[in-house]
Structure 1
Amino acid sequence: MTTDSKKSRHDLEAELAILQGRLRVLVDGSPLGIFFDDAEDKCVFVNRTFCEMMGLSERDALGDGWARTVHPQDLPRLLSERAGAVTRGEPLFRSEYRYSRPDGRVGWVEEQTRPVHAPDGNLLGYVGTLAEISGRKEEEALRARHSEVLEERVRERTAELLAQTERLAEMNTALKVLLRQREEDREDLEQVVLANVRRRISPTLDRLQGLCVGEEARLLADELRRSLKELTEPFCHRLSTVCQGLTPAEIQVAELIREGLGTKEIAARLGVGASTIDTHRHHLRRKLGLKDRRDGLRSHLLSLES
């Protein structure tokens, strides 16, 4: 080898060393951890960022040494996903997993790996990067905790609202029962008042009017009868409304039947014969649609009053 050839080779080696040095500076200065695995998936190169991120020396990271820093709960999944990506020939493999450094620090990284092929197509190995994502994962965990707290509060509030709804429903049911009972009590009171007026006051008034002599006594008796009618007329309003197809005499008989008076008592009250009352009863049953004799006329009339 001539002197010129030796000098030329020396210059090339020096230039190559300079380029390698510059490349190493660029690779070590990257904010991403960079690694290269050979075709057998053995690590043959890591940059300085990778070593700082994983808390390993370059020598300890080579081969399978990097795997010691992967969290033991995540390593089986990572290896399985990597093998699956290689089998499927995927052009890009991505995965997120936890690391556990020798100094006890635990964090998260995102790995992205691509296969590298020679010009002839043969697989040379895999080049990959690691990005520190611990901060992002902490934010995600914080949002998840906040979401869980919010969901728990929503569940608690929903349970409270459901309980309040149930209590309101119970109160509403109780109120309906009370109102229905009050209505029934009012109707019972109306019937008692009406019955007392018809059974006790009206007959007494009839006898009293028969004993009264003179125009002034007659006027007072008429005024008293009108007052009683005004008092009891609202109580009979519903019965009269339902029974609009009845004649005034039939309505009068119906009211007395509802009060519990028998045929002879009604006839005496109205000053007519018992046969007339029987005829009114027959007409009432026909107009009210009571074809079966077992259907009580008084019971039906009382039901119209409620």
Structure 2
Amino acid sequence: LPPQKKAKGILRKTEEYFRVLSEATNEGTAIHDKGVIIESNQSFAEMFGYDLSEMIGLHVEKLASPESMKCILEHIANGYDKPFEAVGVRKDGSTIICSMVGKPFKYKGRTLRIVALRDITERKQMEEKLRESEANYRQLFENSPAGIYQIDFKNGKITRANDVFCKYAGWSQEEISSLNIYDVLSEESKKLYLERLEKVFRGEKVSETAEYEVINKNGQRFYLQLHNKFIYDAEGNVIGSDVVAHDVTERKLTEIDLRQERDFSRAIINSLPGWFYVVDENLRFLRWNDNFIITTGYSEEEIREMSILDFHHESDRSAISEQVKQVFLLGENAAEADITSKDGTVKTFLFSSRKMQFQGIQSLVGTAIDITEKKRAQEELKQFAENLEDANIALRVLMNRRDEDQKDIEEKLQTNINDLVIPYLKKLKQANLDDRNKNYLNVLESNLRDVLSPYMRDFLSSHKNLTPQEIQIVDLIMKGKHTKEIADMLNVSVSTIASHRNNIRKKMNLRNSKINLRSHVLSIGR
């Protein structure tokens, strides 16, 4: 072929290749000559809302906003061939944001410009939303009344934190970025933190909310409730967390106080020697102590399904039911009743109950003490008392008989002494005796009368610890005899009588007393 025809064929094929290539791409492609579009693909036309036939001959000024058109013309004039962004105007007047790039080329002796552009409106809108979201997050982060921080799970470091969290921890922004969250937790909270972290790394699901005890820079302890939003990498692995922290110290301390109070109450209830229980108006159990389980032999699950009447014999249930109704009516009651345990053992309990509100329900709270042994002991004591009364009656009969026998003996003894001894003493007194023998005779007569005297019998009975000689000396003291006279009569030394007098005072508890011995002995018989 001639060179000219050959060149035209090549050009035609090139134009066909360009058209096929431009139609195959999603990018909008157009060729313009000093701003007038002379070639366009379908994507370019659709991007601006035109038919492909309408696009040919259209000036680019109609496809760009005034601000962008000015920039485009400058780029054309300067031969700028790098990507840039511009605002396009669609046929309906709406705008799109485009990323475009243009390059000049020679065609049939003319300098034309080929333009490729992509609609990035959606991406730009997403970027704008992302910027707004970041701005909102930053505002929330900086102005939130709650503490907010971000943590990197790989090293445990706090990557950033707001001022509120820094205030919680007592550290500055600069200091807190060098902290490991592990360093500010109490020992118990460290265990919880590690347990949760291990579960997260194993892929196990954990609650996004957790509470930790934190120790601030000054050593002060407080409690934070943390809400975690985990951060994932491209492979879906958890690499960190955004955390919102609320100071719940006051609530936590209240919970601790309530828990301690509850544990204290439970300890008191379980330490009671008998039962403690609460039943509702249907006589179903709401609460009970450990002793209730131990003594009845039933499990907690069984008790929860039982009525208080189930522990009484069938014949007693009607009366028990009436007593319980009286408690709800009058407010309180105390009574004894027999209880049958799971193994059939029957025991007697003393019940004391009172009406009250329990967890918003009209209830009956009661205690019961096992008095089985007490009742048995009372019965045995009653039987013993009856037997003792019978023995006392028999003993009183014996004592009366003994008193009568003793009185009879005393009367006979008195008669015999008066009839058989006293007459001879009187005869001896008429005999010519010396003074010493007269004294002996007087003492003998006095002693015989004392033997018959109730006073002397009582005195000897109450002072059995006196020796016979001490009794003899006491008798002479009572008769007004002095120490020397007693010594002469008993033919002993004065010091011996003085020693006996000291022993007598000691046995009568008069050792360190100024009471006269004769006065004391005589006072006993008054």
Higher helix proportion, which one? 1
Q: TM-score, normalised by structure 2?
A: 0.29
Q: Which has the higher contact order (CA 8 A, sep 6+)?
A: 1
Higher strand proportion, which one? 2
Q: TM-score, normalised by structure 1?
A: 0.46
